[in-house]
Amino acid sequence: MTMQERTTDLLVVGSGVAGCAAALAGARAGADVTLATKATRPEESTSYWAQGGVAVTRGDPEAFRADILEAADGAADPEAVDVLVDSADEAVEDVFVETLGVEFDGDDIPDYGREAAHSEARILHVDASTGKHVLAPFLNHLADHDAVEILEDTAALELLTHEGRVHGAMLERDGEWAPCFAGATVLATGGIGACYGRSTNPETATGDGIAMAALAGADLEDMEYVQFHPTAFAGEAPRASKRSGEAAERGEADGDGQGTFLLSEAVRGEGALLRNRDDERFMPEYHADAELAPRDVVARAVEAERDRTGEVYLDVGPLDFEAEFPDLTAECEKRGVDPTEGIPVAPAEHFLCGGIDVDTEGRASLDRLFAVGECARTGVHGANRLASTSLLEALVWGLRAGEAAGGFEAEKIETPELLDRDPTLPEGFAEEKSVRLRRVMDEYVGIERTPEDLGRAQAVLRRLKGEVDAYTRTRTSRSLYELRGTCVTALLVARAAAEQEESRGCHHLVEEPTADAD
């Protein structure tokens, strides 16, 4: 299908739960909605991969609020937390239950799960694959909605701006591009997994929305708080070796763990234990809550024990793993792993707690620009996200932003000329640059950081961005713009981390620079 100029009341970029919620609320508010997504299948959205579930108050909002604030390590915005908690039950009931008909586990009484840093079981779930059971019916519902047009396999290359106002975005499909003018624009582009070698995100998580907003002049906050999930399957790709800094800067690869299989935190919530190669249970030595400590604490402990003993595995012996987690059992079997013998795990990049700075209705600092989901910094997560709050935040802020953004009329402006006059990129250019970027981020901007390493990362990333920018000036392609977005996002993370001199939550500084090993 040929890309053509179009006009819409509300443009939503991204088709995860946040984007779908914004589209639904915009349509309910009377807007004509265009939802543009790079995805062609639901599993290409980060929301689809969400395992644990969606947290609700379970009649005790004060306890839920306290758990969020404690997990955030003192960096959450109390007003934003109030919005999330006060809206949680009504939003879940309205959209997931009544509108989409999601059947969470449990019969008359929901089978609430418990995960790390939650003081009680309050998580609605569908086995350990809640995301796909929520997102697929959400997309089907929108596809049947008269006021919503879904553009699949369609990327946003850059925002259309004039005098501090956003007027839509330049969209691309099949190598063609055209402007989509919108009364308001909602970015719901997900996470930044492509910045790291091992991530629980799909490969499409290239930081597009964050980069577009930053390049347009929008404010960003808390970019240093990158959360690593402690129990990603360790056999998906070779473990990142302790190479020299020079090797990292050259981008020498030893495996790519993009989209690595995640062992849900709910497994530990049901009693699974973490053990090192010596079969020692180690988490009680690191935190009073042991396996149910906050994610940042568990991730650092797992990494430390892997360094010390060579391996960490998840011992599921204390529970009936096959009966309680059939989806995860099937994933293990596909990989030739017998869960009863222990499942090897390692930390992997999971979630960005910061992003485009927004208010309680998703408004960014640029007029008529909104952001929701993982690309947005609402202030809820502070320095470390509480488990199973991502789908909830996406739903709550998606609904609020979609309603607030649904009342504007589109205005056409002069659009930038995107050039495509030079020959195609050198063979392997994008992959070589991507590998180099991920290795630098893994080595220098990972679970533990030093000022020296962060300075080194910024220097390498600035050079890398310059190399990519040289091509984007005269060439236009989705892969090139995605690479530019990943470069911009990675540099923003490294820069924010260098400016944050206090260890807090996911941002953990060590006194001594990381020693390069042979």
295 is catalytic: yes
- Per-residue b/e over 174-183, b at no fewer than 16 CB within 10 Å? eeebebbbbb
DSSP annotation of 458:
H
Contact criterion met (CB below 8 Å) for 277 and 331:
no
Cα→Cα distances 38→156, 166, 405, 422, Å: 8, 21, 22, 25
Catalytic, out of 295, 363, 385, 400: 295
User: In this structure, what token pair is assigned to residue 130?
Assistant: 């809640």
DSSP result, 237-286: SPPPP---HHHHHHT--S--EETPPB--HHHHHTT-EEEETT--B-HHHH
Question: Which of 277, 291, 308 minimizes the C-alpha distance to 231?
Answer: 291
Q: Give the β-pairing of 33-36 and 176-187.
A: unpaired
Which token pair is 6? Answer: 């179009």
- Does an H or E element contain 168, and which? strand 165-173
Distance CA 219, CA 357 (A): 6
Q: Is 165 helix (H, G, I), strand (E, B) or coil?
A: strand
For residue 277, the tally of other CB atoms under 10 A from its CB is 14
Which active-site residues does the annotation give?
A: 295
